[in-house]
A = this chain, B = another copy of it.
Amino acid sequence: MGKVCTGATMSLDGFIAGPGESGFDLLFQWYGPGLPEEVTGASQSDAEHLRRVKERTGALVVGRHLYDLTNAWGGRHPMDLTTVVLTHRPPEDRPVADENFVFVTGGIEEAIATAQKIAGSREVGLNGGQIARQCLEADLLDEFHVDLVPVLLGGGTPFIGPFEGAPLQLEGPVSTVSGKGVTHLRYLVRR
């Protein structure tokens, strides 16, 4: 079964969004002018990094908040992967499962198991925030991937925030890739 990895672009002061969902322009500058999947604007090492992440990922798990915030990414996640959405109430205007989205209501364990079945031997990717924290607390998380950007947001949504089991020592970084205005770091959770 593939590993479960949380990854996010994070400000130097530890936030994945500024106050009131602000700061995305600053956080995602390293992507270049394109959307995440259109990496032509990113520097070569960053584009290569994004290509590798995309190659090794087989499914995603997100929370309902992000799904709603992005308006379901217009119909499919920009990484072009099936996305498992953890929610209390699946939307009524959509199938519970198709190749774009699978809605699960059974908690983080069911969300991860569902995504792992879809991903096969490839990785399951999670964003930072609540979903990553729940996954960490349920002892289901294998890796932390941080794209660290030279921005101070001063507040907002933390990558993980307070969590059960803190403090936690990670292993690594097992990989450090210096991009253009971003540092790609990979850490392992000792389980």
User: Residues of A with Cβ closer than 8 Å to B?
Assistant: 11-15, 18, 22-23, 26, 144, 146, 148, 150-155, 158-163, 166-173, 176, 178, 181, 183, 185, 187
- Bound-complex Cα distance A174 to B22 (A): 26
Contacts of A159 in B (CB 8 A): 12-13
- Bound-complex Cα distance A5 to B144 (A): 29
**Distance in Å from the Cβ of A14 to the closest Cβ of chain B?**
3
- Bound-complex Cα distance A171 to B144 (A): 24
Contacts of A162 in B (CB 8 A): 154-155
Whether A153 lies near B173 (C-beta < 8 A) is no
Sample of 9 A–B contacts (CB below 8 Å)? A13-B161, A22-B167, A23-B167, A26-B167, A26-B169, A152-B163, A152-B168, A154-B162, A176-B178
19 A-B pairs besides A18-B166, A150-B173 with CB distance below 8 A are A12-B146, A12-B159, A13-B160, A22-B167, A148-B185, A150-B169, A151-B169, A152-B163, A152-B167, A152-B168, A153-B166, A154-B160, A154-B163, A154-B167, A155-B162, A155-B166, A176-B176, A176-B178, A183-B185
- Bound-complex Cα distance A36 to B14 (A): 25
Whether B150 lies near A187 (C-beta < 8 A) is yes
Whether B173 lies near A14 (C-beta < 8 A) is no
Given that A167-B152, A167-B154 are contacting pairs, would A183 and B187 also be in contact in the complex, using a CB cutoff of 8 Å? Answer: no
**Distance in Å from the Cβ of A104 to the closest Cβ of chain B?**
26
